[in-house]
Structure 1
Amino acid sequence: MNKLLITGAATAITLTGAAYAQSSVTLYGLIDAGLNYTSNEITATGGGGHSNWQMTSGAIQDSRWGLRGAEDLGAGLKAVFVLENGFELNNGQYTSSNRLFNRQAYVGVSSREYGALTLGRQTDGMVDFVGPLSLTGTEFGGTHFAHPFDIDNLNDSFQINNSVKYMSPDFAGLKLGALYGFSNQAGGFANNRAYSFGLSYIRGPWNFGFGYLQLSSSARTPAQLNANGAVTDTTAASLQNALLTSAVPIGVLADKQRTLGAGVNYSFGPAVAGFVYSQSKITQFFQTNLSVNFQNFEGNFRYALTPVVELSGAYTYSRAGGNGGGGIPHWNQVSAMADYRFSRRTDVYIQGAWQRVSPSGTSPLGVAWINGVSNPSSTTTQVQAAAGLRHRF
């Protein structure tokens, strides 16, 4: 009898070990820190511009750590999850004060044949399909390469809460995706909801991408914002500061924000050339008749000078128009970066950006403001430069 019990226990331990062998949890992360210089930063409302030397975190990519897991359920099906936190290396704080896993938090199932269905806080179609074709959405440009105010979210400034997301498998180079973010409000189904979709197609040296994102809300003031809805980040508040002189989240205090984008990359030898277009239409700020339309045109280039040295650069022309008065302001931005890899995980970089805005009439968008810089310029131009170190684990 004792022999039978011992044999049974040994079998159970063996089976348990086999089950655990089919599951995995991975700790991963990225640390990006360096020294940053910015010209012409204002010090207070109406104050003059001053140079600013800073130690910063995430000049290229936001510092983060996360957990990624999968369990094999058999028949090509897996349970998957991701929990990812963004933080500021220079002071150790979360990038979002009220969220532990502020970048991503989702769970779902994945199939080699049918794709993946996930639920939680996730990225949208602009980030997934157009961002990789723009230097701001990659390790070759990042934060300061973003289009003005990151209005198109290609730099992943905000994620979608309460979202259900589907990503297809690869169909001979074609991938599709769609997402819906619930408002989670009784009697307010469309009050701070989001939906998005996109696709990518890779064939030979060509890489194409398209994305669409729509946000909607019925809030008129920040106090009326549905704080449990799909978009609750305030990382794009700089645009609202410029337009309305009050820090409120972008898109969720308008009736609708419709953003679409498309891009293409072409690889030849050690080089990659690309073009990206995006458009964001924001209608009825505070449920008024104020509407704004942004357009961005980006040309970018990467070149592997040696196996360990990579050069990249981008030029972006942006313009804004609408019925708020003041004509059509437009931006010109030139950005460049040089990167040296010590290893697959560790590299050093230098990068910089120059931006000039040409305001028209009485437009409030009259000063330069490079994305990721603490304060806007006191003039129509601004320069930013950084040298830093990145490590991945």
Structure 2
Amino acid sequence: MKKALAIAAALALPPLAHAQSAVTLYGLIDTGLTYVSNAGGKSEVVAADGIIQPSRFGLRGAEDLGGGTRVIFTLENGFSLNTGADSQPGLMFGRQAFVGIANNKWGSLTFGRQYDFIWDYMTLFSVGSRLGGYGFHPGDYDHLGGSLRINNSMKYSVTPLAGLSLGALYAFGADPASAGNGRVVAAGALYSGGVFSAAFAYNNVHDMTLNPAAQIGTTLGPSFPSGTFVANNMQNVEAAISLTFGPSSTRALFTATTIKHQSASVTMRSYEISEAFQITPALSASAGFSITRMSPSTWHVASAILDYSLSKRTDVYVSTAFQNVTGGANATFLTLPASSNGRNFAARVGIRTLF
């Protein structure tokens, strides 16, 4: 397969003198069945794909320039397996599209549509990294689920010491704002040790389109628009730690999301603890509990997953999630219709394969 792809790349691209290059086709497909106890007021079983991880395919390439320096690029499309539709409507490479320069010592500088450091550094500490869409916090307003992809961005990442990664990002705002995110400033740090790991991430996004009623099951308050609107500013401050002993990894994280629009301001805070345990080389289990507060509402979410690897590329899984909300908000899981009240339960069986 790799040989065939190399031949195809050679036929499609002009010859490059005195350089080594490679282009890789990769992807992931996830699908399954989900039972939900309250989807708009009734229970139902739905065929749902891209839950544990959104389905995607992409091209990743590198050209060796010598001296430890190379040109890199990634073009990645998200899609629905059940319908064939783009996950990011109207975008050919809606998940990622960037090109840049990387050096073994000095790090990488890339330009395009990219993820922030919440995705790069923080998500791996969350139960959602194992459970997928049903394990993330309300509306993914803290972006742990990867819902924030930043247009017109330049991003620098470096590993100055073994185990330590640092990064910074700046994005030029779209004009008009409805065409994409506005100006973005982001930064992050990740330390990965044998036993102890920690991460920090900061985001400040101008002109962020929000639809609170659909995304979190309530409004942001009487000072905010009741429907879809473009928030002047959305800021995320997040931190996480983990302790790993043998097959056990215990993780804790905190996120604070502040949304401002004209003279109004509101803050959503989430606290989460989770455990991942490798039972056998093929079988793993993960579970987590989170509390999210945004006055006057509080979300309690408990979730778990049992995952079995059939091979190095394919696994099957069973997952459950329960959400209880007080303070007037309706329960909402990402990708599922909002509940008609403050409670919802979801159970899923699925299969995932990589290529």
TM-score, L = length of structure 1: 0.81
Alignment match of 1:40 (pick from 26, 38, 41)? 38
Matched, 1:368 2:322: no
Matched, 1:148 2:138: yes
- The structure carrying a bigger strand percent of its residues is 2
- Checking the alignment, whether the CA contact within 8 Å between 2:211 and 2:228 is kept in structure 1 is no
The aligned counterpart of 2:218 is: 242
1:238-263 CA distance string (max 9 Å, x none): 34773144244xxxx22211111000
Alignment match of 1:305 (pick from 256, 279, 286)? 279
> In 2 relative to 1, CA 93–200 (structure 1 residues): closer, same or farther, beyond 3 Å?
same
Q: Report how many aligned residue pairs link the two structures.
A: 333
1:63-117 CA distance string (max 9 Å, x none): 0000000000011100000000000001111012110100000000000010000
Alignment match of 2:119 (pick from 127, 151, 159)? 127
Shift of 1:52: 2.1
The aligned counterpart of 1:9 is: none
User: In structure 2, how many angstroms separate the alpha carbons of the residues matched to 1:236 and 1:259?
Assistant: 17
Alignment match of 1:347 (pick from 286, 306, 315)? 315
1:288-314 CA distance string (max 9 Å, x none): x33211000000001111110000001
> In 2 relative to 1, CA 85–334 (structure 1 residues): closer, same or farther, beyond 3 Å?
same
The aligned counterpart of 2:255 is: 278
Unaligned runs of 5+ in 2: 1-14, 220-224
TM-score, L = length of structure 2: 0.89
Matched, 1:201 2:163: no
User: In structure 1, how many angstroms separate the alpha carbons of the residues matched to 2:44 and 2:148?
Assistant: 26
> In 2 relative to 1, CA 78–299 (structure 1 residues): closer, same or farther, beyond 3 Å?
same
Matched residue type, 1:341 = S
Shift of 1:392: 0.2
Q: Secondary structure at the match of 1:272?
A: strand
- Checking the alignment, whether the CA contact within 8 Å between 1:86 and 1:101 is kept in structure 2 is yes
- Checking the alignment, whether the CA contact within 8 Å between 2:217 and 2:338 is kept in structure 1 is no
The aligned counterpart of 1:318 is: 292
Alignment match of 1:30 (pick from 28, 31, 36)? 28
Shift of 1:204: 2.3
Shift of 1:383: 0.4
Q: Secondary structure at the match of 2:121?
A: helix
1:325-359 CA distance string (max 9 Å, x none): xxx21111000000000011000001010000011
Cα RMSD (Å): 2.0
Matched residue type, 1:35 = L
Q: How does 1:4-153 map to 2 (within 5 A)?
A: 19=18, 22-42=20-40, 49-136=41-128, 138=129, 140-153=130-143
Alignment match of 1:264 (pick from 241, 248, 260)? 241
Shift of 1:235: 8.7
Shift of 1:157: 1.0
Matched residue type, 1:246 = G
The aligned counterpart of 1:220 is: none
Matched, 1:254 2:207: no
User: In structure 2, how many angstroms separate the alpha carbons of the residues matched to 1:347 and 1:33?
Assistant: 11
User: In structure 1, how many angstroms separate the alpha carbons of the residues matched to 2:85 and 2:319?
Assistant: 25
Q: Secondary structure at the match of 2:42?
A: strand
- Checking the alignment, whether the CA contact within 8 Å between 1:129 and 1:211 is kept in structure 2 is yes
- Checking the alignment, whether the CA contact within 8 Å between 1:64 and 1:85 is kept in structure 2 is yes
User: In structure 2, how many angstroms separate the alpha carbons of the residues matched to 1:179 and 1:101?
Assistant: 20
The sequence identity of aligned pairs, in percent, is 37
1:124-164 CA distance string (max 9 Å, x none): 1211111111121x2x1211100111110001012000000
- Checking the alignment, whether the CA contact within 8 Å between 2:57 and 2:77 is kept in structure 1 is yes
The aligned counterpart of 2:342 is: 380
Matched residue type, 1:380 = G
- Checking the alignment, whether the CA contact within 8 Å between 2:217 and 2:332 is kept in structure 1 is no
1:3-45 CA distance string (max 9 Å, x none): xxxxxxxxxxxxx68746x100000000000001111111xxx
User: In structure 2, how many angstroms separate the alpha carbons of the residues matched to 1:337 and 1:151?
Assistant: 23
- Checking the alignment, whether the CA contact within 8 Å between 1:337 and 1:351 is kept in structure 2 is yes
> In 2 relative to 1, CA 236–108 (structure 1 residues): closer, same or farther, beyond 3 Å?
farther
